[in-house]
Amino acid sequence: NAGVTQTPKFQVLKTGQSMTLQCAQDMNHNSMYWYRQDPGMGLRLIYYSASEGTTDKGEVPNGYNVSRLNKREFSLRLESAAPSQTSVYFCASTPAGSGANVLTFGAGSRLTVL
Amino acid sequence: EDKVVQSPLSLVVHEGDTVTLNCSYEVTNFRSLLWYKQEKKAPTFLFMLTSSGIEKKSGRLSSILDKKELFSILNITATQTGDSAIYLCAVEGYYGNNRLAFGKGNQVVVIP
């Protein structure tokens, strides 16, 4: 009964390093999302994938890339990390084909960029 | 651009008090409004509201939507320390694909 699994849970990077956050869901959901959460800012959408094979930019996509590897997995890549990308990242999924509806969230990945 | 504004942003109450949280919104092609509770980690779903004037209730929590005035209220009665959390309001609009816009959250601290 895993739901949405994110790895890693914590990561410290130096400015300019790259890394990939992994996300997998076992609920056969069609849509997957990446959000970032900063203090006092709520959740902001980075990228989403309405269905396997499609990805779209959200509110704050600059500095990120995504890959919808298959129906289960949706990864977020930082090519050249910057201190402004220090944040908590949440992956989420929903069963709707093209609808947001009720999101199921992963536990979050706390990223610090020095 | 979608706007979701929550108030108050933070409050401290004593156990047993009643809390009222507000969420006002402006969104294109409104579909639904959702409330989530976030404690230490991931947000967890509380309510989804689509129709005006119909209260959703779960234990001591209840919520109602006013589509004419574009806001929702989340009430927590007889608060307990376990209600301490950030409460997130999100509004779903339709743009070809459905997307959620989140507010900044209401941080609630319940002290014994």
Tell me the pLDDT tens digit for each residue of B33-67: 999 999 988 899 999 998 788 889 999 999 999 98
CA pair distance B39, B24, nearest whole angstrom = 22
Measured between beta carbons, the chain B residues lying within 8 angstroms of A107 are 41-42
The CA-atom distances, in angstroms, between A54 and each of A10, A34, A48, A98, B45 are 28, 14, 8, 11, 26
* The pLDDT of residue A8: 96
For residue A53, the model assigns a pLDDT of 87
- In angstroms, the separation between the Cα of residue A8 and the nearest Cα of chain B is 14
A114 touches chain B (CB under 8 A): no
Q: How does pLDDT run across A59-107, given as a tens digit for each residue?
A: 899 999 999 989 999 999 999 999 999 999 999 998 865 445 788 999 9
pLDDT band, residue B31 (cuts 50/70/90): confident
Q: Is B98's CB within 8 Å of A96's CB?
A: yes
| Contact residues on chain B for A90, CB-CB shorter than 8 A | 42-43
CA distance A37 to chain B (A): 9
B88/A43 touch (CB, cutoff 8 Å), yes or no: yes
Instruction: Provide the pLDDT for residue B52.
Output: 81
